[in-house]
Amino acid sequence: MPGAAPALLGYAAVRALGLLVLALWSAARDKSAYTLLTARWDSLWYARVAEGGYGYEVRMANGDLHSDLAFFPLLPWLERLGHAVTPLSYADAGFAVSAVASLAAAWGIFAVADLLYGRRAGVCAVLLWAVLPVGIVQSMAYSESLFTALAAWSVYAVLTGRWLAAGALASLAGLTRPVGIAVVSAVWAAGVASFVREFRDRRTAVAGSRGPAIGPSARQRSAAPAPGAHPAPYAPSPAHGPGGEGAPGWRRALGMLLAPLGTAGYVLWVGHRTGDGPLGYLDVQAGWRNGFDGGYTFARFVAEKFTSFPSALAGVALTAGVALVIRLYVVCVRQRQPLALLVYAGVVTALALCASSYFGSKPRLLLPAFPLLLPLALALARLRVRRSALVTAGVAVASAAYGAFWLNGSGPP
């Protein structure tokens, strides 16, 4: 895809700026920027799994049991492979995997946005993903970049009717992070919808063969734009249909069967290893105080911010941030993004906002929800090139400064 070159070059420039600012900021504080990127929090756990396999646990002072079984295995496997075939340490290999995966993720985001809305929107979507306030995580030895790359290309494969690739990539995403269930859900939702549409079309064709056509079919009427409405910017390839109906049914079915194997395989293996059965992984997450409570714990955390000043300012910022995320998703629905994108972004967002995990991690957990950026990418693409470049450059500088400040402080746990 030669058209992706401007997007990838722009992405690389933004990430280089972020790393430069981080290096300067860290040097001023007598810290190692590279250590911050490769040997802190989750990156230490991944490297430990890569080196010695699973089995490490830490009993915290409050009684919580932190087990490395909470970390899915694909990134440690790649770190072990990188260490085996190169002189790199496990941490170095993790950093290298993240660097390559972040470019692959940027390319996948471009491919999806370009398919839906055109090349310029694709470039803008990639740049917006790069300049997110927590964009520095894309350069850390974390699994977010790897997961986003697999998710973006899986969704792209769904949109273009490549069901076996979609299922295989979804399975790999399921070996990367717990939120891999979002990619599985996207593949299954699109697959089921395509079979339903195909079944309805066949029934319509059979009914039409029994008598003269009186008017347009229900599907044609629903697809026709209302008077005065703007046509949808995404027109799927006739070869594949809106959900890939052009692909043989067995390919769609096999892709759907492949999709959950990664997530299910690891979760079941953890249950077998712990002796707690299929729900054993939930017990492992509970040891980290991670769980799904519908957002109750997060809502209570935000509400407590309003009990004093100046913490109330943080409460306002958190409320505004959540409102913005929800608003962007609503716009995605109104813009009639393909079902696979809506399901994927919806599940990622729900798991991030409704989990009882550490609240400082929530912006990082939302990082893979790139479809939420597509409405902003469309708006940015409509600006004149000069104005669009100035806006992006300004946000990139602010993002680089924030990332350096954040990582030199509490950082992303």
Residue closest to 273 by CA, chosen among 55, 72, 119, 111: 55
Q: Please answer whether residues 67 and 287 qualify as being in contact, where contact means their C-beta atoms are separated by less than 8 angstroms.
A: yes
Q: Which amino acid is at 199?
A: F
pLDDT of residue 151: 98
Q: Please answer whether residues 141 and 91 qualify as being in contact, where contact means their C-beta atoms are separated by less than 8 angstroms.
A: yes
Q: What is the pLDDT of residues 327-357, one digit of tens each?
A: 999 999 999 999 999 999 999 999 999 988 7
Q: Please answer whether residues 403 and 136 qualify as being in contact, where contact means their C-beta atoms are separated by less than 8 angstroms.
A: yes
Q: What is the pTM of this model?
A: 0.90
pLDDT of residue 229: 38
Q: What is the pLDDT of residues 222-244, one digit of tens each?
A: 444 443 333 344 444 433 444 55
Q: Confidence class of residue 358 from pLDDT cuts 50, 70 and 90?
A: confident
Q: What is the pLDDT of residues 277-326, one digit of tens each?
A: 988 999 999 999 888 888 888 888 889 889 888 888 988 998 999 999 99
